[in-house]
Structure 1
Amino acid sequence: MAESSVSFLLDKLSWLLEAEVNLQRGVREDVEYIKDKLEHHKAILMVADSLENKNHELKEWVKSVRKIAEDMEDAIDEYDLRLVDHDQQGNNICYFQEICFYFKTMIARHIIASNIKGIKSKVEVISHRRPNISGVGSSSSKSRSPRLDSQGDALLLEEADLVGIEKPKKQLCDLLFNNESKREVISINGMGGLGKTTLAKQVYDDPEVKKHFKIHAWVNLSQSSKIEELLKDLVQQLHILIGKPVPEEIGMMKNDELKRLIKNLLQSRYLIVLDDVWYVTLWNAVKLALPNNNLGSRVILTTRKTNITELGKDFHLEFLPEKEAQDLFFRKTFQGNSCPPDLKEVCLEILQLCGGLPLAIVAISGVMATRKFEEEWKIVCRSIGSEIRGNDKLEDMKKVLSLSFNELPYYLKSCLLYLSVFPEFHPIEHMRLIRLWIAEGFVNGEDGKTLEEVADSYLKELLNRSFLQVVEKTSDGRMKTCRMHDLLREIVNLKSMDQNFATIAREDEQDTEWTEQVRRLSIINSFRNVLKQNKTIFKLRSLLMFALSDSLNHFSIRELCSSTGVNLLRVLDLQDAPLEDFPAEIVDLYLLKYLSLKNTKVKSIPCSIKKLKYLETLDLKHTYVTELPAEIVELERLRHLLVYRYDIVSYAHFHAKHGFKVAAPIGNMQSLQKLCYIEVDQGSGAIMVELGKLTQLRRLGIQKLRKEDGPTLCSSIEKMIHLRSVSISTITEDEILDIHAIKPPRYLKQLYLSGCLEKFPQWIKSCNNLVRVFLKWSRLKENPLVYLQGLPNLRHLEFLQVYVGETLCFKAEGFPSLKVLGLDDLEVLKSITIEKGAMQGLKKLIIQRCGSFKNVPLGIEHLTKLKSIEFFDMPDELLMKLRPNVGRDFWRVQHVPTVYTSYRRDGGWDVYSLETFGERETDSNHSSAKRSLELPTLWKV
């Protein structure tokens, strides 16, 4: 992990040396010396994570390197803070001002030079104490070669000892026995400890499998496996299997010769299992030796990654369901007996921590089996992190979960450790995490990509490596929130504490010992615990607060973390905090890059916000800010300006969304990538022209557009060649939305239009990348489906008062990728026809407030993948036709697992299944019959 700190620092040192900065004499040479020495030390740091716990000398040395990297980072940031004249604008400074500025900062220059000389001395000391690289290298290779005990044990388990394996075993056998004659590759993937090896071994040893495949071989791999070793192992196994002596010259053969030999041996139907494949390169080299002999041969890989094979079949192993997890835990903990009543509650808490991970359940059951009293169980439950650190019985589990972390490249280690700042069970927002990573400096630039796109690739890589789980997806398939498995989180938390990466302050952990220096601080529930830390030195780069119970009306960041502890702050995240006023001291945090006041009650932003020259993200979503000061446009580095809130009454109300006004040339903010939602009804002509200067925009949200400004807006949008998402709303629902002249951006994926359309915009039908289209209050007389049905990637379509016709027909082969369809308030709609072959992938259908619609959609029975239908506030005549065993059209929807209907009641919505629909008046409180919805629509964008 020190590798990450050093690599991050080296980037900053390169900037310092390349920039035209006025360093004192000798300082540049000192910086170059520090940079060269740290570059030299990177090789040993790359293997330190997996070795430092076994080598005390190495651990202390790595700690020293990390401390030097942090001190040097502080020195550079102090340079940034002290030697930049925050009162001057641009380069229009006279000679006299330059002289004044030089003398004003002379003391600061001297201090910085002195600090860097001190750091140079420390670098010289650690360079002399550098551990023996060759010794470390050899121990590294030895430490990685053996299989972990837990993986070896998986090969010895009997099927009678296993829980929950029957279903995945059958599914995997079905894949092996299918009628496909060409060679197929099946990748069993999932996080460490899920039982991938166990499942593969049970299938491999099954008598029917052995009978079906004449040739079969099992190859054990590890992180350090080499292609040559793998090929030799496979050659030896195959020779033994067919009863031939292993060639003596095998030890001298090159890889190509070994591959040809294997190909010649695999002339019958074969099954090869490669257990624990870590790298794509390894598989790509081995697959050339496994011939496609058109005999139904199969290859099984077990891996923690989901992208090992290009054309193989992914078999993602899931966590154990709750019942099976309980069975396994009780069997192992109580030796087959039932759980004692007094331990039932704490048992369930521990099982929740295990999260259905078989390795964790087995390991922790071994620990709990020796504890007989409830209080002992509760202590373990409260302190699972320290238990993992100190209990030998959990060592294998710790090794398995740590192995993947140690293998991560340095830039992903920082990103993963950052997740420790979020509370347990807290879904982490996709875009929030990406913006935080960028503000922290964890994301490296790549040619042709924005930092956001690079960060998104980091997130996907962590998903592919099974570090993260998707909690919630958007309707078009994108990840919305994610989280870590609870026990993996404990492992990451331990590493974060060991390496002083982040400090977590909780109200319920007041006795926790703090580190000497705090660089990232996450405050959960209350900041009272922070105020007691008199001996702690705050050198904060990030300050985040979650679920605060304290009032922040008189909140002071400087009082919280000492007067000097926040000067270098880059991230300030006060989302959800009980805050009503903008804290005035924020504008003095000159290096701040990320500021979030989301979901607070802040009403205004001061003009002095312009002092935050480095600010990249300003998140004011769901605050009461409705106008930004003109000075906001001086923040030329701002990439994400997010200011809007929804009226909670109903998202389907035209004026439900509120944006912001700004009286300034918004076109000056040319770094903007996201601008949502700007109200353009005042001085709108000039604003439309200004928007055309924002050529880096990826997302644009426009509110209160007037008809006469439509053509100018179209002209501006044409210049936004990177645009992915556009939302446009007119000033009133009767205002004409004139956007017919747009030449659509090539990458446009999401389109939200609210306002009256005289005719359907023809350009939409050519936007082949669109995945979401929401149209509201269009009031079209022509059928909009004609223009939308050919869009190849459209996954989510919503209509609200879009069409005034009586019939809608979904043509065969239309909407090939559609997953979600919502129809709302189509007043005169009387019938829907779905031709066979239309919307073949549709999973969710919502129809609401269509008062004239009284007949079941004809052809709905053709939608075989439909998972749910929801009717909101629809005529009883329609719903009675769908009641099971009573309605004449029930047969059309009997294949759909979930069909609900609802009615507004007491300000909310009561939702009934069709089975109980007829009982709604006589038994309106029947808990199994209904659930309550706060909002009936999907209009929230």
Structure 2
Amino acid sequence: MLEFHLRLFCERLKRVLAGEEGTLPLPDSTKLTPLFKNLLTESEIIATTLLGKYEADMARHLFQLIREKFDDSKISLPFLQLLDLEESDEEDVERADILEILEDINVFVHESEDAIDTFFINIMQQQNSENESESSTDMALLVGLHTKIIDIRNRTQQLPPGDNGFDIREKSNEIIRLLSEGHRRLDISEFERGREELFDLLIEGPSGLAVVAILDSSGFDKTAFAADTYNNNHVKFYFDCLAWVRVSILYDFGKILDDIIKSVMPPSRVSVIIGEHYQLKKSVLRDFLTNKKYFIVLDDVFDHTEIWDDLEEVLPDNQNGSRVLILVTDPNLLASLEMENGEKIRLDSVLTGGPLIRLKHEAWQFFILHYGSMPLENYFRGEAIPTIWRQIFSVMELPFHLKVCCIYLYVFCPSIEISTRQLYQLWVAEGFIPYHGEETAEHYLKELIHRGIIQVSKRRAGGIIKACYVPSIVYTSLALVAEITGFVWMRERKREPLANVKRCFIWEDLIQFLSLEYSDTRLQSFLNNSSESDRLALIDCENFCKKFKHLRVLNMGSAVLDQYPPGLENLYLLKYLKLNIPSLKCLPSLLCTLLNLETLEMPSSYIDQSPDDIWMMQKLMHLNFGSITLPAPPKNYSSSLKNLIFISALNPSSCTPDILGRLPSVRTLRISGDMSYYQSGVSKSLCELHKLECLKLPKLESLIVNPCAYLRKLPEELWCIQSLRKLDLHWPQTELRQRLRTFKDMEWRYDIQLYPYGI
């Protein structure tokens, strides 16, 4: 994985030669095209040589770098022996030569990227001038790079044969063997017995508030086990309100509090209370839960001992059978508790297969339920560490295309819900997936889900994945690999210079980051994942755009801007842009000069006026605004936004045949605004969108589908629209007609009419 940058550089050169980089084909192909072809040829020769002959050497080195992050005293002896790799002096020298060449390759890639970026920036700056699109300086840079790559290739070919004795898959299999050795796996009967025991405790257990901790264990999926009970219809009927909240390695009780409030309280009350201060929200939640029988699941909980005090403040015990289920990822969380007889928790307290253990707690009745193959003693001896190594190896053995997509997940907070739409857009903008590659991205995501790296959190109608998350234990492994390979840089955890960093993200202190001085920077991606809504000064944004002129991805997150930042129009290579400008009403013309832009996200902006030049942004694929009004195409302009596939939310005034007819590829459309005046025109204009798959309307009252002969079922989300009162369906098939019969008991709410034969 140490050859990441070279492999991605080869993919970029292919896009350059295919005319997919920049906004124009390569000018003067007699001079430039051969140069780029030669760079690609030599780079691929080196990549093939390194991958073919020295993959084992690079994997061994990466393996040892990761090993240095662990404390050997906490790793059990059998596994420690597995990690030990002895090298002869000769092998050590050879590895040093390989690493030196790898370092030179990375320098070459950085210089090449810089030269190509400069070249394309110059082209785009000169598009409207009469000057030549290339300069002698650009040519000299490219010729010099070709000389360097030839030298690196010659040095690589002189290396002795590599050692292919290090097999990642073999190591991974050995870890699995060590994890399972001496520990029997859970069978179906034990799983059923555990489920019955948990079910009885929830329903038939003590009248007072009871907390149940389920331990993570090899061979036992505690999340699936808990979800099986949580989604049980009897459980849903038994409790007044339920909440499933992911905690993660980053403990933030403020977020946990918000998530519980959103799950248990009615939306009307949530909208009022969610923006209030922390103490008030705690008080309101406690009052709301008083006299209610509640069931709350806290998933992915690490060693956050403060959680006990935090929960005690907000969860009342009214002796009505309320329950809290905690899915424990780090058993040290339980070390502060005592057994029912007053003894401290011993290493042999929880044995394989149960039974249910009672613990002592000041406020609640506390239980541990443990089904799996690893006793508690093994956790404290460090034998759970191989689980992390297994995750590391599962990443290392991925094919390259999945590997880069997988490790990129490090930019998202652990256990935080990730929009798949946003994830696909970022993968494309980063160059991991071809332009217009959403189907490919979805395929990659499903593969990573199948391998247990990503978990699904939400699905759309038809089972399409809407959101996902990375479990904390997986995130820990991704962090190790991402940081050691230099693939992604996080300021909070890294202190080295930013000069050669390509991808950077932060979780906090955005203002401080912007105020720092940087020089010789080649940053391509910047993502602000802070939850703070910092208000940014325009001068900071302007300086930021000047410092990082090679950006492809810019996500300012929740940081608030008072107006469109000056200098942004000079980021010619930008493909993904997300800004938070609530006061913006008119889209600036300068924004439309970013002709490489594929994704434009301003969800807090309500745009009343857009410039005609927006029709020049031929690469746009995603528009996401609170609301946007598109202008009618200029009369002398015959082109269209042919690549636009997602619009949210379009003002009804823009839903005309002339506008929607210029959006031939739109699959998802959200319309927001008062449609009373435009209703007839909108209905007719939607016929222009032949590829439309998803239509969203926030206050729908009446829905008429004519005809619906190919419709098998209506989306579940339809019945969640509170304003919906009338539904007319023409020529429904028998299957749909039968499904609708289940809604007979809802006639008090819906006027459902089927034509021509009735229901």
Using the size of structure 1 for normalisation, the TM-score is 0.52
Residues 888-927 of structure 1 correspond to what in structure 2 (within 5 A)? none
Is residue 2:409 matched to residue 1:419? yes
**1:121 pairs with 151, 162, 165, which one?**
151
Question: In the alignment, residue 435 of structure 1 is paired with which amino acid?
Answer: Q
Residues 144/693 of structure 1: CA separation in 2 closer, same or farther (3 Å cut): same
Question: In the alignment, residue 761 of structure 1 is paired with which amino acid?
Answer: V
Q: How far apart, in 2, do the equivalents of 1:581 and 1:9 lie?
A: 36
Is residue 2:147 matched to residue 1:147? no
Residues 554/29 of structure 1: CA separation in 2 closer, same or farther (3 Å cut): closer
Partner of 1:375: none
Q: How far apart, in 1, do the equivalents of 2:535 and 2:373 lie?
A: 43
Question: Cα deviations across residues 660-679 of structure 1 (Å, max 9, x unaligned)?
Answer: 34343596211111123322
Partner of 1:650: none
Is residue 2:334 matched to residue 1:334? no
Q: How far apart, in 2, do the equivalents of 1:591 and 1:42 lie?
A: 30
SS of structure 2 residue aligned to 1:622: strand
Is residue 2:219 matched to residue 1:195? yes
Partner of 1:576: 558
Deviation at 1:769, TM superposition (A): 7.3
Is residue 2:413 matched to residue 1:437? no
Partner of 1:538: 521
Question: Cα deviations across residues 753-807 of structure 1 (Å, max 9, x unaligned)?
Answer: 94667xx432134334764674887765xx7378668455xxxxxxxxxxxxxxx
Q: How far apart, in 1, do the equivalents of 2:746 and 2:415 lie?
A: 31
Residues 716-727 of structure 1 correspond to what in structure 2 (within 5 A)? 716-717=688-689, 720=690, 722-727=691-696
Q: How far apart, in 1, do the equivalents of 2:489 and 2:577 lie?
A: 20
Deviation at 1:576, TM superposition (A): 1.5
Residues 695/158 of structure 1: CA separation in 2 closer, same or farther (3 Å cut): closer
Residues 76/361 of structure 1: CA separation in 2 closer, same or farther (3 Å cut): farther
Question: In the alignment, residue 621 of structure 1 is paired with which amino acid?
Answer: P
Question: Cα deviations across residues 333-371 of structure 1 (Å, max 9, x unaligned)?
Answer: 7324699x99999xx9xx9xxx9998797665225xxxx
**2:446 pairs with 440, 450, 460, which one?**
460
Contact 1:443 1:451 in 2 (8 A): yes
Residues 674/66 of structure 1: CA separation in 2 closer, same or farther (3 Å cut): farther
Deviation at 1:435, TM superposition (A): 0.6
Partner of 1:51: 60
Contact 2:569 2:591 in 1 (8 A): yes
**1:556 pairs with 514, 525, 540, which one?**
540
Deviation at 1:540, TM superposition (A): 0.8
Deviation at 1:27, TM superposition (A): 6.9
**1:669 pairs with 631, 636, 641, which one?**
641
Partner of 1:697: 666
Where do 5+ consecutive residues of structure 1 fail to align? Answer: 173-191, 199-317, 368-392, 646-657, 730-751, 793-810, 833-837, 839-941
Partner of 2:296: none
Deviation at 1:466, TM superposition (A): 0.4
Partner of 1:105: 135
Partner of 1:585: 567
Residues 15/773 of structure 1: CA separation in 2 closer, same or farther (3 Å cut): closer
Q: How far apart, in 1, do the equivalents of 2:739 and 2:465 lie?
A: 26
Partner of 1:75: 112
Deviation at 1:559, TM superposition (A): 3.5
Question: In the alignment, residue 627 of structure 1 is paired with which amino acid?
Answer: Q
| Bigger Rg, structure 1 or 2 | 1
Residues 314-463 of structure 1 correspond to what in structure 2 (within 5 A)? 322=326, 334-336=346-348, 364-367=379-382, 396-444=386-434, 450-463=436-449
Higher relative contact order (CA 8 A, sep 6+): 2
Partner of 2:587: 605
Q: How far apart, in 1, do the equivalents of 2:748 and 2:2 lie?
A: 55
Question: Cα deviations across residues 161-181 of structure 1 (Å, max 9, x unaligned)?
Answer: x99993357789xxxxxxxxx
Q: How far apart, in 2, do the equivalents of 1:413 and 1:360 lie?
A: 33
**1:616 pairs with 588, 598, 622, which one?**
598
SS of structure 2 residue aligned to 1:681: helix
Question: In the alignment, residue 693 of structure 1 is paired with which amino acid?
Answer: R
Partner of 2:32: 23
Deviation at 1:635, TM superposition (A): 0.7
Residues 197/143 of structure 1: CA separation in 2 closer, same or farther (3 Å cut): farther
Is residue 2:469 matched to residue 1:490? no
SS of structure 2 residue aligned to 1:766: coil
Q: How far apart, in 2, do the equivalents of 1:142 and 1:435 lie?
A: 31
Report % sequence identity.
19
Partner of 2:235: none
SS of structure 2 residue aligned to 1:61: helix
Deviation at 1:491, TM superposition (A): 1.2
Is residue 2:469 matched to residue 1:469? no
SS of structure 2 residue aligned to 1:618: strand
Q: How far apart, in 2, do the equivalents of 1:820 and 1:570 lie?
A: 53
Q: How far apart, in 1, do the equivalents of 2:616 and 2:657 lie?
A: 19
Contact 1:616 1:640 in 2 (8 A): yes
Question: Cα deviations across residues 229-277 of structure 1 (Å, max 9, x unaligned)?
Answer: xxxxxxxxxxxxxxxxxxxxxxxxxxxxxxxxxxxxxxxxxxxxxxxxx
Partner of 2:9: 9
Partner of 1:522: 505
Contact 1:575 1:600 in 2 (8 A): no
Partner of 1:766: 710
Contact 1:468 1:484 in 2 (8 A): yes
Contact 1:463 1:469 in 2 (8 A): yes
SS of structure 2 residue aligned to 1:481: strand
Contact 2:220 2:371 in 1 (8 A): no
Where do 5+ consecutive residues of structure 2 fail to align? Answer: 20-25, 65-86, 197-215, 223-298, 302-324, 351-356, 754-758
Q: How far apart, in 1, do the equivalents of 2:455 and 2:403 lie?
A: 17
Q: How far apart, in 2, do the equivalents of 1:641 and 1:553 lie?
A: 25
Question: In the alignment, residue 180 of structure 2 is paired with which amino acid?
Answer: A
Residues 484-883 of structure 1 correspond to what in structure 2 (within 5 A)? 484-506=470-492, 512-513=495-496, 517-527=500-510, 530=513, 538-546=521-529, 547-548=531-532, 550-554=534-538, 556-557=540-541, 559-560=543-544, 563=546, 565-597=547-579, 602-643=584-625, 645=626, 658-665=627-634, 668-681=640-653, 687-702=656-671, 704=675, 706=678, 709=681, 712-713=684-685, 715-717=687-689, 720=690, 722-727=691-696, 754=700, 760-768=704-712, 771=715, 774=718, 780=726, 784=728, 790=734, 813-815=738-740
SS of structure 1 residue aligned to 2:567: helix
Question: In the alignment, residue 677 of structure 1 is paired with which amino acid?
Answer: A
Q: How far apart, in 1, do the equivalents of 2:189 and 2:331 lie?
A: 13
Deviation at 1:659, TM superposition (A): 4.1
Q: How far apart, in 2, do the equivalents of 1:661 and 1:169 lie?
A: 60
Residues 44/578 of structure 1: CA separation in 2 closer, same or farther (3 Å cut): farther
Contact 1:593 1:614 in 2 (8 A): yes
Contact 1:699 1:723 in 2 (8 A): yes
Q: How far apart, in 1, do the equivalents of 2:327 and 2:553 lie?
A: 42
Residues 36/824 of structure 1: CA separation in 2 closer, same or farther (3 Å cut): farther
| Superposition CA RMSD, Å | 4.8
Q: How far apart, in 2, do the equivalents of 1:85 and 1:324 lie?
A: 56
